[in-house]
Amino acid sequence: MIRPLKLESLERLGWRFGLETIQALLSELGHPELSLRIVHVAGSNGKGSTCAFMASFLRRRGYKTGLYTSPHLCDIRERFRVNGAWISQEDFNRHSRQVLEASQKAHRKTGRLPTHFEALTAIAFCWFKEQKVDWLVLEVGLGGRLDATNVVPSPAVCLITPIGLEHQNILGKTLGKIAWEKAGILKPGCLAAALQPHAQAARVVDRAATKKGALLWLGGRDFTYRKVPSGFEWEGPGLHHRFKLPGLAEYQATNASLAMAGIQCLRAQGVNAGPGLIQESLLQMRWPGRVEEISRKPLVLLDGAHNPEAAKVLAVSLKIRYPKRRWIVLSGFLSDKDYRAVARILAPLAALAIVTEPRSDRAEDGSRVFKAWEGSGVPGLLVRDWKKALGISLANLKQDSRLALLITGSLYLIGDCRKEMVGLEGLGWL
């Protein structure tokens, strides 16, 4: 007798690069992805925020909007949203059973079970089809070309956020190879926009668009933006306007500017809106875990800066927004992240580094991360248990009113700390 599959059991399969398994699974499910109008988003930094900006705009424009992102902070259902609200537990369980049954059928034909992420992506397509969403904003999991989300044959719009060195053991050792993988989401005839601070990545994405017949708006060539106090000024075909942003505007200006290019691309799909509605959607966007204040007294900030590019933007934002603060930095990283560079970048802001280990099989040994902070000249503590590390960090804040706590590195760590301090507050609806 074949035992029924459990969703959690698929986590042991890790990550699989390729589309054959997810295609076989979706075939068993009747290809729900083919019924959806999709904005597909790839890149290294700012994917989630860019997705959130796009979803916020489409909702304010009056469309029933799905949003699929990863990873989650505190609850797996965060990954699946319609008009900002999570999938219900009942719907999640029902679609999980449906996908797992289809997985066993596909396994008998292909000899392969789907990975955890492939199964979640199939659940997403089934649920969004059932919900009859007008638009789905779809975030790539890893890479692009061979990511499970890339089964969609004809996305309406593709966006590629800034690309950096990441997952080099999977995507390639150079920025060019990584950019080529990310540009794999581009399809013939699709409208696309990319904003790339690295010239090499911009060239690769531009060449990929030309080769595939995608119509690309490239930042710096086809549209421009500049940061201004509390927002950004954007100029491109059909629009020149200054917009305000919520919170740490310096941090989100790049993501919002790419989303603006995406919004302009949507005009070709019949989605028109004036600056006023766009401004409203920008101000109402929320994205937990990214430069998020979860406490003001004492000041506690969460940010998932897990690579050098994100750490640089975070450091600049903290200097501008909190010029007199010194930071206790609670950090933990996964083993494939450049934590040494992140430590060097954040070191000038840090009064104390408290190092822990995220709850993940891929967590980096805390002693190595501790040495990185030590090598950057920051005094530190190694506390492998994340909950104890959080308690010690909060206790140290009492020593000086100028101190604040920054929790950064792995989103696994950020999610656990957020849930410990404020529960699911602010997560159930965006």
Q: What is the CATH classification number for the domain harbouring 324?
A: 3.90.190.20
Among the listed ranges 9-23, 105-119, 152-166, 209-223, which one has the minimum average pLDDT value? 9-23
Paired residues of 66 in beta bridges: 82, 136
Same domain, yes or no: 257 and 381: no
Taking residues 340-348, report their average pLDDT: 96
3-state secondary structure string, 379-423? CEEECCCHHHHHHHHHHHHHHCCCEEEEEEECHHHHHHHHHHHHC
pLDDT confidence bin for 1, thresholds 50/70/90: very low
Taking residues 358-382, report their average pLDDT: 94
Joined together, the tokens standing for residue 245 give: 């942003």
Joined together, the tokens standing for residue 54 give: 């796009």
Same domain, yes or no: 270 and 403: no
| Whole-number pLDDT of residue 14 | 66
Taking residues 228-235, report their average pLDDT: 92
Q: Per-residue pLDDT for 2 more than 60?
A: no
Same domain, yes or no: 417 and 298: yes
| Whole-number pLDDT of residue 430 | 62
Does any domain span residue 430? no
> DSSP letters of 282-303?
HHH---TTSSEEEEETTEEEEE
Query: φ, ψ for residue 358 (rounded to 5)?
Result: -65, 155
Does any domain span residue 429? no
- For 5, 90, 427, the CA distances from 80, given in Å and listed in that order, are 21, 13, 12
pLDDT digits (tens, 9 = 90+) for 71-104: 898 899 999 999 999 999 999 999 999 999 999 9
Residues ≥6 apart with Cβ < 8 Å to 406:
301, 303, 318, 327, 328, 329, 330, 346, 349
Domain C-terminal end among 231, 258, 284? 284
pLDDT confidence bin for 313, thresholds 50/70/90: confident
Q: How many domains does the chain have?
A: 2
Same domain, yes or no: 343 and 319: yes
Number of H helices, E strands in the chain: 14, 17
Does any domain span residue 94? yes
| Whole-number pLDDT of residue 11 | 66
pLDDT confidence bin for 400, thresholds 50/70/90: confident
Domain C-terminal end among 232, 261, 284? 284
Q: Per-residue pLDDT for 3 more than 60?
A: no
Does any domain span residue 360? yes
| Whole-number pLDDT of residue 12 | 67
Q: Where do the DSSP E strands lie in 204-246?
A: 215-218, 224-228, 231-236, 239-244
pLDDT digits (tens, 9 = 90+) for 130-148: 999 999 999 999 889 999 9
Q: Per-residue pLDDT for 276 more than 80?
A: yes
Domain C-terminal end among 284, 303, 322? 284
CATH of the domain at 96: 3.40.1190.10
Q: What mean pLDDT, rounded, does the chain reach? A: 92
Give the C-alpha separation, 287 to 124, whole Å: 20
Same domain, yes or no: 333 and 234: no
Same domain, yes or no: 259 and 350: no
Taking residues 401-413, report their average pLDDT: 93
Same domain, yes or no: 372 and 248: no
Same domain, yes or no: 249 and 111: yes
Same domain, yes or no: 238 and 308: no
Does any domain span residue 428? no
Joined together, the tokens standing for residue 182 give: 């990310």
Distance of CA 278 to the CA centre of its chain: 21
pLDDT digits (tens, 9 = 90+) for 39-66: 999 999 899 999 999 999 999 999 999 9
What pTM value is reported for the model? 0.91
Q: Per-residue pLDDT for 290 more than 80?
A: yes
Among the listed ranges 137-151, 190-204, 237-251, which one has the minimum average pLDDT value? 237-251
Q: For residues 120 and 165, which has the higher predicted lDDT (pLDDT)?
A: 120
| Whole-number pLDDT of residue 178 | 94
Does any domain span residue 92? yes
Q: Per-residue pLDDT for 304 more than 60?
A: yes
The answer to whether 200 touches 211, Cβ cutoff 8 Å, is: no
Same domain, yes or no: 121 and 209: yes
> DSSP letters of 33-55?
GGG--EEEEE-SSSHHHHHHHHH
Give the C-alpha separation, 210 to 309, whole Å: 27
Residue 14 domain boundaries: 7-284
> DSSP letters of 191-205?
EEEE--SSHHHHHHH
Residues ≥6 apart with Cβ < 8 Å to 258:
46, 50, 159, 161, 193, 194, 195, 219
Does any domain span residue 67? yes
Of all residues in the chain, the percent with pLDDT exceeding 70 is 95
Does any domain span residue 2? no
Taking residues 234-243, report their average pLDDT: 93
Taking residues 382-396, report their average pLDDT: 96
Same domain, yes or no: 392 and 415: yes
Same domain, yes or no: 278 and 310: no
| Whole-number pLDDT of residue 345 | 96
